[in-house]
Amino acid sequence: MEENVIASKLIVIGGSAGSLQIILYILRYLRTDFAVPVVIVMHRSTDNESTLVDVLSNACKLEVKEAEDKESIIPGKIYVAPADYHLLVEKNHSFSLDGSDKVQFSRPSIDVTFQSASDAYGKLLLGILLSGANNDGADGFADIRRAGGVLIVQDPEKAVAATMPQSAIDRGLADYVLDAQQIVRYINHSA
């Protein structure tokens, strides 16, 4: 697999039900000199805003922070989409927050972040779709595909909730279907 790894300038990870454990695993095993920014979009309630950043920070040697409106995207940082906002990636490689209607019953929506990131980073984008119980992420994956980015889906057989990764696979949008260890290996080679 490593022979086919394409260098990325941004990694976007989307997950919902059952994705926290694999996200913790991925962050725990990132190289200490990892220099690509990572954006994590998870469906979550508004009552645990800072808790998610704290939990992820404890698993990771890199800085983990909640993305802020108009903030520039810095290499080597892990950004978390804030609860109850859509997180957009702008063409000038900064963030904007949007409080518009939910997409796929979610805000933040994985689709919204994936779609905007594909416009900003094109073929230099790596999209990863993890466990989840709805179809959020598949439409955004289609945009990443059109822009020439790379698409990784968690193996549905290893996912707590297989609907989200299976939806992308069913639409032919997975370049790779990987387990947690393989995802970490790919990411560490893409930086």
The mean of the pLDDT values for the chain is 91
Number of compact structural domains in the chain = 1
Question: pTM of this prediction?
Answer: 0.94
* Torsion sign (Cα): 161, 165, 168, 171: negative
pLDDT surpassing 90 at residue 79? yes
pLDDT tens digits for 28-41? Answer: 999 989 999 999 99
| Average pLDDT value for residue range 4-15 | 87
- The CATH code of the domain that includes 135 is 3.40.50.180
- Domain range for 168 is 2-190
Quote the DSSP letter at residue 37: -
pLDDT tens digits for 97-120? Answer: 998 888 777 889 999 999 999 999
SS3 content of the chain, % helix, strand, coil (to 5): 40, 20, 40
Residue 50: the pLDDT is 60
Q: Using CA atoms, how far apart are residues 83 and 166, in angstroms rounded to an integer?
A: 25
Of 86, 78, 84, residue with least CA distance to 111: 86
pLDDT tens digits for 123-171? Answer: 999 999 999 988 889 999 999 999 999 999 999 999 999 999 999 999 9
Residue 188: the pLDDT is 94
Annotated active-site positions, please?
Answer: 16, 43, 136
Helix (H) or strand (E) holding 162: none
Residue 1: the pLDDT is 47
